[in-house]
Structure 1
Amino acid sequence: MKNILVIGATGQIGSELTMKLRGIYGNDHVVCGYIPSAQPQGELLESGPSEICDVTNGEQIAEVVKKHNIDAIYNLAALLSVVAEGRPQLAWKIGIDGLWNVLEVAREHNCSVFTPSSIGSFGPETPPNHVPQDTIQRPRTIYGVSKVTTELLSDYYFRKYGVDTRAVRFPGLISYVTPPGGGTTDYACDIYYSAVRGEKFVCPISKGTYMDMMYMPDALRAAVELMEADPARLIHRNAFNIAAMSFDPEGVLAAIRKYVPNFEMEYKVEPLKQANADSWPNSLDDICARQEWDWAPQYDLDAMTVDMLAKLREKLLK
């Protein structure tokens, strides 16, 4: 059975991915890597092994890898896009210096590595609609610059050292499990919480601003399926576009109003989030992921809305 280390396992994606991986590979085979300021709680702590594993400490990563005989590393350590703009040096230290540590450990101990990229890796010069797999990127945020560097550095380690590196470009992710953390795309999660609580939603992103989004179950499945894919089929190893839906605030509002007819929304645009959103594309073309490892989403906007509302009612209205 494969042994897996998840770095950043208590974060928005990591906490859910760790539990999914434990369900697939067995609780004892998936290590929750965390930093002392973000310790695992509840089921995440109790269901399997946990280790302090700071991505900025290469020796610490190596010790965990050796102790648990790790075969695959899911590196999810990163700052949110909005947070990164306020702390660019820290964003680089975690995102790039940390990745270098992970790749070096993987090279020395023969581990495969998943380090996700993002729609934030694109910039205003990128074609806005149905962005092709290979195109101009040139992002204007430190978050985006670090994601492009992640893609290129991962490719470098594959080509030079043969490290089995793989990644997807995640869209904005929407989840009922982990509360939103204030990122640029998190309004699309916040809005469902407001709908279930019966509150008017104040939207920080302007009307008509389209971004690619994805329901977390699809995102988690994409990560696992790519890591299990036949390497002989993979051409774009470290930057696969994946897509499920693209909408603006009015679109998700309309989807929610099918089930919560009196739900209200107003706009109070936050300049930094809006600037990020304006520099990102409206939609991605994921044909390469579909062709190279049979990617296909299971949730569109309406299916996600039905499930989000049901799950949040269970969670918030107990």
Structure 2
Amino acid sequence: MKRILITGALGQIGSELTLKLREVYGENQVIATDIKKDNSEAAQSGPFETVDVTDFNRMMETAKKYKVDTIMHLAAILSATAEAKPVFAWHLNMGGLMNALETARELKAQFFTPSSIGAFGPSTPKNHTPQDTIMRPTTMYGVNKVAGELLADYYFYKYGVDTRGLRFPGLISNVCLPGGGTTDYAVEIFYEAVKNGKYTSYIDKGTYLDMMYMPDALNAIIDLMEADTLKFKHRNSFNVTAMSVAPEDIAASIARYIPGFEISYNVDPVRQSIADSWPNAIDASAAMEEWGFTWAYDLDRMTKDMIENIKKKK
């Protein structure tokens, strides 16, 4: 039975992954950690410890206390916020990752950390972006992600740490609001649709980006961590995606369930420039072939589920 420590457990991915893992492996088998505790279900439904990921001693102390055999390192500053605070982003994103990897090395623990399509850059092929391709990002977040992918590979080859990772697209959730990502519009649009029947997008029409609904992302993490490595040709940062959409595509899907919904545009130059440096659509065939990656939600099925769940909160 796994004993899993999650950093950044109260963030966008962590708040849902914590509950999913507790459902699968047992409440007491999943230790949630974050820089401070709140009243969320993720914090209250099982073991929780306050951990600043830049504090190696505290992270190691917590991991040893619970005798964990798996570390899922999610704590990070996201793309738009990282551009505003690049030095802080490097300190948290890379310092925290190094501490988590060192903890995994010492405890011989399995290790997961997510990467992102932000690891790609403007010179990366825009369509059918391959698993293995040129990666020259022009954002601090992207630089962090490329460095993180290489560092995780290094810990596998140098120390034998069982590192695994996914290169996530934009993630869409009805549970936890996003915090500082370029693709946040794809979450905000649903909340504004239910509340006001209209939305002003900071990303311009015609800007295609890969997206995935959170339930598919959570299943992908678990499937990867449970996968037999026999078929692995890669180990970290598998491309995964479910759909490639532009703001007007999401708006059209919403209008099928909320007639009269309107979208307008007030483009944010910073976030638009980040989005323009990322691929239009990535190729996830390596993940499909090497560990059976699949997804359940296309755009319309996701839209229906998002709207139904947001309406329940009103």
TM-score computed with the length of structure 1 as normaliser: 0.97
1:287 to 285, 288, 313: 285
CA–CA distance in structure 2, aligned partners of residues 301 and 68 of structure 1: 40
Q: Give the deviation of 1:45 after TM superposition.
A: 2.4
2:224 to 226, 236, 254: 226
Contact kept, 8 Å, 1:3 with 1:29, in 2: the verdict is yes
1:156-175 superposed matches below 5 A:
156-175=154-173
SS in 2 for 1:173: strand
Contact kept, 8 Å, 1:33 with 1:50, in 2: the verdict is yes
**Residue identity opposite 2:31 in structure 1:** V
2:301 to 300, 303, 307: 303
Partner of 2:200: 202
Partner of 2:270: 272
Partner of 1:81: 79
For structure 2, the 5+ residue unaligned runs are none
CA–CA distance in structure 2, aligned partners of residues 90 and 108 of structure 1: 27
**Residue identity opposite 2:2 in structure 1:** K
Task: Provide the alpha-carbon RMSD of the alignment.
Answer: 0.9
**Does the C-alpha gap of structure 1 residues 182 and 58 become closer, same or farther in structure 2, counting only changes over 3 Å?**
closer
Partner of 2:138: 140
Deviation per CA, 1:21-57: give whole Å up to 9, x if none: 1001100010011113xx2323222210001121111
CA–CA distance in structure 1, aligned partners of residues 100 and 269 of structure 2: 34
For structure 1, the 5+ residue unaligned runs are none
Partner of 1:26: 26
Contact kept, 8 Å, 2:34 with 2:51, in 1: the verdict is yes
CA–CA distance in structure 2, aligned partners of residues 179 and 106 of structure 1: 30
Q: Give the deviation of 1:284 after TM superposition.
A: 0.7
CA–CA distance in structure 1, aligned partners of residues 287 and 212 of structure 2: 15
Is 1:9 matched with 2:9? yes
In the alignment of these two chains, the number of paired residues is 314
Deviation per CA, 1:236-270: give whole Å up to 9, x if none: 11110001000001111111111112001110000
Of 277-286 and 197-206, more deviation after overlay is shown by 197-206
SS in 1 for 2:167: strand
1:26-65 superposed matches below 5 A:
26-36=26-36, 39-65=37-63
2:235 to 237, 243, 251: 237
Q: Give the deviation of 1:11 after TM superposition.
A: 0.7
**Residue identity opposite 2:9 in structure 1:** A
**Residue identity opposite 2:290 in structure 1:** E
Q: Give the deviation of 1:298 after TM superposition.
A: 0.6
Contact kept, 8 Å, 1:243 with 1:284, in 2: the verdict is yes
SS in 2 for 1:130: strand
Deviation per CA, 1:187-214: give whole Å up to 9, x if none: 0111111111134201000110000000
Of 191-200 and 137-146, more deviation after overlay is shown by 191-200
SS in 2 for 1:186: helix
SS in 2 for 1:41: coil
CA–CA distance in structure 1, aligned partners of residues 106 and 179 of structure 2: 35
Contact kept, 8 Å, 2:197 with 2:260, in 1: the verdict is no
Q: Give the deviation of 1:181 after TM superposition.
A: 2.2
Partner of 1:97: 95
Deviation per CA, 1:268-298: give whole Å up to 9, x if none: 0001110000000011100000011100011
Contact kept, 8 Å, 2:6 with 2:72, in 1: the verdict is yes
CA–CA distance in structure 1, aligned partners of residues 51 and 5 of structure 2: 9
Contact kept, 8 Å, 1:196 with 1:313, in 2: the verdict is yes
Contact kept, 8 Å, 1:34 with 1:40, in 2: the verdict is no
Contact kept, 8 Å, 2:197 with 2:258, in 1: the verdict is no
CA–CA distance in structure 1, aligned partners of residues 182 and 105 of structure 2: 34
CA–CA distance in structure 2, aligned partners of residues 45 and 254 of structure 1: 36
Q: Give the deviation of 1:89 after TM superposition.
A: 1.1
CA–CA distance in structure 2, aligned partners of residues 102 and 54 of structure 1: 11
SS in 1 for 2:21: helix
